[in-house]
A = this chain, B = another copy of it.
Amino acid sequence: MRSRPPTIKDVAEQAGCGIATVSRVLNGTGSASADTRRKVLSAADALGFEFSALGRSLQSSSTKTIGCIVPSLANPVFAEVVQAAQQEAHLEGYQLILACSEYDEMQELQAARTLIAKQVDGLVLTVNNASDSEALELIRDRRLPCCLVYNRASFGLPAWAVDNRAAAREVAQAFHDEGHVQTGFLALRFHRSDRSRERYEGFAAACREFGMADPLLLEIEEQEGNLLELLGTLLAEHQALTGIFASNDFLALAAMKAARALGKRIPDDLSLVGFDGISTGLLVDPHLATVETDPRTMGQGAVQSVLARLLDRPTPDLPSAAATFSFRAGGSLGPPVPGKADGREAATSLPSHE
């Protein structure tokens, strides 16, 4: 029919009354005679009228919108965080505007700017480096309700975070219990993620505490396709390691695959522990030992924290540090077995495949 969507003015005209009355009737605020109500309702219905959130937001200076910035959705952890955040926001009638920083601080900052310009009512985000983020600075200065996820509290902002150091300590303990001494820490974009660094630092400190050798830091820069090759090279260069703690599960699984291609038995020749606890870890054989976290709770909690500030509700309790993760044992971690560790070509150790 009409190309321009109908406005409240159109409804008023059709119903033969003023726009104020239409607003009152349709919003159920204020009084109106039964007759007027009927006329307004039918006019609105006939025109297929819906309020424009724009005019409303301008007026109320509340957009019912929450901004969400995560590094990437390629990581299922963040995908889950976002999904849970979206659901939680939806429950209260809020929408989520999504932005991905691609692990880049400039994009992170720009995203924050854009979302602020869009007048989001609050923000939920995972930044690359919580202790030094221009985006967080901006948000703090703007006094915008905000909550961090998977970052530790910073800039005075609340955070639903995993205690990476404590978790890493448990991993070190597990390695130690199995008798490992020389381990490595494998990270994908080490300098771009404070989470990765915290895990490494906690791991290194704990290794020292348990009297193990300092873990070797194995960094990989980019994820360009040849990840498996890079891992293969890296593993080949460090045959002495009996165990590797990877900064996330995908990396651990990829390392598992690369190690096998090198003829290594898991866990006899090389033990592996991941981080995150994604479900894929339970589909492989042996199961991936890992640190389980709960992305859904994190995303949901972060939104609740923000909403609490917006709606003047009591702030939800942040989880105690110890409750933010749990070590999950798995067949990929076992005692080192000195056996035939160095068979370069060993397709035979790849099961059910010959």
Contacts and interface: CB of A to CB of B under 8 A. Distances in A.
Interface in A65-100: 65, 68, 72-74, 76, 79-80, 82-83, 86-87, 90, 95-100
A45 interface: no
Contacts of A27: none
Contact of A353 (B83, B87, B285): B285
Contacts of A257: 282-283
A141 B48 contact: yes
B58 A54 contact: yes
Contact of A74 (B79, B116, B286): B79
A95 B115 CA distance: 9
Q: Per DSSP, are chain A's interface residues mostly helix, strand or loop, or mixed?
A: mixed
A165 interface: no
A100 B119 contact: no
B98 A82 contact: yes
A90 B95 contact: no
A158 interface: no
Interface stretch (A33-41, A178-186, A191-199, A344-352): A344-352
Interface of A: 3, 5, 48, 50-55, 57-58, 63, 65, 68, 72-74, 76, 79-80, 82-83, 86-87, 90, 95-100, 102, 113-119, 141-143, 253-254, 256-257, 260, 265-266, 280, 282-286, 331, 349-353
6 contacts: A3-B143, A74-B83, A76-B76, A95-B115, A260-B285, A286-B352
